[in-house]
Structure 1
């Protein structure tokens, strides 16, 4: 066995392990998909990863390597541990870890391709090229999803309840302890006592609501929507524009807006097809996010939410220089 063959076998073994991990991570992400389209895409990605694992294993055997029976177990275990521990981090950190895995897969596949080309091993070279294409596409997709999150959403993937709490904790690091302890406690309580998506959003925006001052903050205890509107009015009357903005932003995140406050006129009376057409004309992440939150809270038409996510993805691709 030549030195290059040995190196190719080593890379193929590593690729099997990493691809098994990739498959399991894709399957855990399915439950975080915002839309049916993203859910189908993640399912297909997981199935494709499983197929790649088989191809890599077959090529490994063809080169005289022995695929160990432990590797698939280790791959699944790695993914399970990642899924568990990432609950203590924010969703963007979890996605950055996904991106790191994909870059490693891409780099190893690229290295394998060069090894195979140098060794004149056409079958291995073709497999490596296939892997490079697949992981390049996934790197691009994850980069766009992270850009969507950076632009303010709605991202293709949503945070789990615990990740929303973790995100609040991360933002709390540089703030006064007592102020943020109350915020985090509120977020944890929201996640523990209610699984409703709307309630989960309360946890994710609790830090904004907590920024309201004394009398304004007290109004939040009486009825969410009415309290936030009252808080906004009081803050404006007192000349506290920052507090008024926080109340407004919180209402936007919770979908608690009146129809006349939406960035699309007469949105409430639009059919799904007309709503989709109107959403395609939105040019800012903020407006897209406002419409998405409102739609998810009131009508929750899957094709409309998908259109909003697609429109944001187009903006995200522009932001990171990815061609649509």
Structure 2
């Protein structure tokens, strides 16, 4: 039990530091508050584990917490070269490890008839299962194209943007493309040609591709979609329409809610709660964030999006 408590103490210290790092990446105040609470709760778990170690005669350990903090710093440094979803997957691995060790600790405590450690282990498993569910939901939302709970750091945005340009040349997100273009513009025509090809290939509008990435972006995309449809190029038209959805440049009349432009914030939020398709929710979220940015509507859409993500992830 002492050995497992020591391991849990080190991992929990890592968990605390990672939660502190994630606070700075939070997309919304609600997520920021939840991450702060997670960090505070992990601090309390650290204190509980330490007390049990001392009760069982474990020597006070000043090295383990330092190792936990160092592990978090190393993890945070290396994950800067990865897309944000990879960093979240790493967080999920940590939470699974904590949960599995807490489960094993409980079995050891039951065998030793130690009710105090058993109760602690039960509290730990409950906490880590909840965090596993939260991270699973966040990753499912990311996979479904919704706005992530965490913002990528500049380095992660570049890494994620490059991966998406390579693998999905048409389905690019506004912030990722803009950041990638801004950081790589100095590298010349190679990057410009790559990004231009990603947009231009969709509807054979190579001359308009540069406009898509600057001031005439929205008008150029809408014009390109119309041209592609008039020429009978359905695939290209669909690809450009998806890009418009991602960039929030759809017209209000194209949203899945009738008379959306005339709805008040409360009415729009209620209408959003009735949507049951992920793509429809994404359209509303991207439109609101790019145009009206009504927090109550975005929040309602994100809550509904999370519910659908949990269903797909098998949490509910």
TM-score scaled by length of structure 1: 0.84
- CA RMSD in angstroms, aligned pairs only: 2.5
Partner of residue 149, structure 1: 142
8 A contact 1:220–1:231 mirrored in 2 = no
Does residue 98 of the first structure (1) align with residue 87 of the second (2)? no
Matched residue, 2:192: none
- What pairs up with 1:8-157 in 2 under 5 angstroms? 8-157=1-150
Cα displacement (A) at 1:186? 7.5
- Would the alpha carbon gap of residues 130 and 292 (structure 1) be closer, same or farther in structure 2, given more than 3 Å must change? same
Residue 5 of structure 1 is matched in structure 2 by none
- Distance in 2, matches of 1:132 and 1:291, equals 37
Give the Cα separation in 2 of the matches to 1:291 and 1:303. Answer: 12
CA shift for structure 1 position 175: 9.2
Counterparts in 2 of 1:43 and 1:213: CA distance versus 1, 3 Å: same
Contact 1:296 1:305 (C-alpha < 8 Å) held by counterparts: yes
Of 199, 213, 216, 1:209 maps to 199
- Shift, 1:191, TM fit: 4.8
Aligned length: 297
Is 1:221 matched with 2:210? yes
Do the aligned partners of 1:187 and 1:206 also contact (CA within 8 Å) in 2?
no
Matched, 1:255 2:255: no
Q: Residue in 2 aligned with 1:196?
A: none
Matched, 1:285 2:275: no
Instruction: Give the distance between the partners of 2:200 and 2:75, measured in 1 at CA.
Output: 32
Structure 1: distance between partners of 2:243 and 2:17: 35
Distance 2:160 2:248 in 1: 20
Q: Is the 8 A contact 1:208 1:246 kept in 2?
A: no
Structure showing greater relative contact order (alpha-carbon pairs closer than 8 Å, 6 or more residues apart): 1
Q: Partner of 2:227 in structure 1?
A: 234
TM score, norm. by length of structure 2: 0.86
Q: Distance in 2 between matches of 1:132 and 1:210?
A: 51
Task: Find the residue that maps to 2:61 and give its secondary structure.
Answer: coil
4+ residue runs over 4 A deviation: 171-176, 184-187, 205-208
User: Aligned-pair distance for 1:118?
Assistant: 0.8
SS of 1:212's equivalent in the other structure is helix
Match in the other structure for 2:173: none
Deviations 1:62-84 (A, max 9, x none): 11112321222222221122122
Gaps of 5+ in 1: 1-7, 177-183, 194-204
Contact 2:92 2:136 in 1 (8 A): yes
What does the per-residue CA deviation read over 1:197-238, in whole Å, with 9 as the maximum and x for residues that have no partner?
Answer: xxxxxxxx9885254354x13213231111111221222223
1:27 touches 1:42 (CA, 8 Å); kept in 2?
Answer: yes
Q: Is the 8 A contact 1:21 1:75 kept in 2?
A: yes
